[in-house]
Structure 1
Amino acid sequence: MRSFIAYILLAAIMLPTLSPWGTIAYFKLNREYIAKVLCENRKRPELRCDGKCYLAKKLKQQQDKQDKETSQKVHNMPVIQLFTPQSYFYNFDPEVTVFREPVRFFHQLLFYAAPVGKLLRPPRR
């Protein structure tokens, strides 16, 4: 069952790439009908077109359709912005800043350094 699903998914992924080959296969299988009925140059046999003009026209239509779909997909694709410009500006004016209590940085440093000193000692035997 897994391999069946895998083949279906593979075919679905490969279908856009194989569509020109389908058109060519259709042309090869129905060459006589295309040359007699659908060819633009059927009334001028000296050109020896044999339906190649019909094949070229169909391949051109497929290519144009695929290009149009691709451009629409690219145009409608959402844009994910990974990097944002720096838009935040902080104006730090030291004259306006007032501390409510004195900064005791060294006291806090000693407070937190004491437990670390107890942890960093050689192991006992």
Structure 2
Amino acid sequence: MRKGRLKLVSVILALVVLVQPFSRMAVFISFKINQDYISRVLCENRDKPELSCHGQCVLMKKIKKLEEKEHNQDMQIIKQLNELIYTQITFDWSPVPLIIQSTDTRQYITDTPHMYSAYALSLFKPPRIS
């Protein structure tokens, strides 16, 4: 079941990636299929047969609209990348242990003489004899 979902997601992602480059071709194919209808009904120059437009004005408008849409998407992606680059935070992490000066007379075995960590001592207690 999980492999099936993974394949489905990968196919959907592949289609999404491949659809954008072929969008102009899809517009052109759609135009060629519907060219008779476009030239008779939608063409701006249908009343001027001497121009022999045959609906190409509609095709040019659709291609221009598609280019503007792609340009706007590209600009949004560039803007997001710029925001991503400029919001990068450098984090200088240097560990600072909690060290407290010892005031009691007990002896602790540590690698730092005369200092101990209160947190470590609260966690690790030696066994008691009762």
> What TM-score do you get using the length of structure 1 for normalisation?
0.58
Choose which of 20, 25, 44 in structure 2 pairs with 1:21.
25
Residue 68 of structure 1: how far off its partner (Å): 1.1
Aligned partner of 1:33: which letter?
A: Y
In the other structure, the counterpart of 1:79 is: 84
In the alignment, structure 2 segments of 5+ residues that lack a partner are 91-130
In the other structure, the counterpart of 2:44 is: 40
Matches within 5 A, 1:64-75: 64-75=68-79
CA distance in 1 between counterparts of 2:76 and 2:59 reads 26
Q: Deviations over 1:44-71 (max 9, x none)?
A: 0011110011101100010011101111
Aligned-pair identity in percent equals: 34
In the other structure, the counterpart of 2:115 is: none
In the other structure, the counterpart of 1:31 is: 35
Residue 73 of structure 1: how far off its partner (Å): 1.8
Residue 4 of structure 1: how far off its partner (Å): 5.3
* Residues 11/35 of structure 1: CA separation in 2 closer, same or farther (3 Å cut): same
CA distance in 2 between counterparts of 1:31 and 1:65 reads 23
> What TM-score do you get using the length of structure 2 for normalisation?
0.56
CA distance in 1 between counterparts of 2:85 and 2:34 reads 48
In the other structure, the counterpart of 2:109 is: none
Aligned partner of 1:80: which letter?
A: I
Larger radius of gyration: 1
CA distance in 2 between counterparts of 1:80 and 1:52 reads 43
Aligned partner of 2:75: which letter?
A: S
Aligned partner of 1:53: which letter?
A: C
Higher mean alpha-carbon deviation, 53-62 vs 14-23, is at 14-23
CA distance in 1 between counterparts of 2:7 and 2:25 reads 25
CA distance in 1 between counterparts of 2:56 and 2:7 reads 39
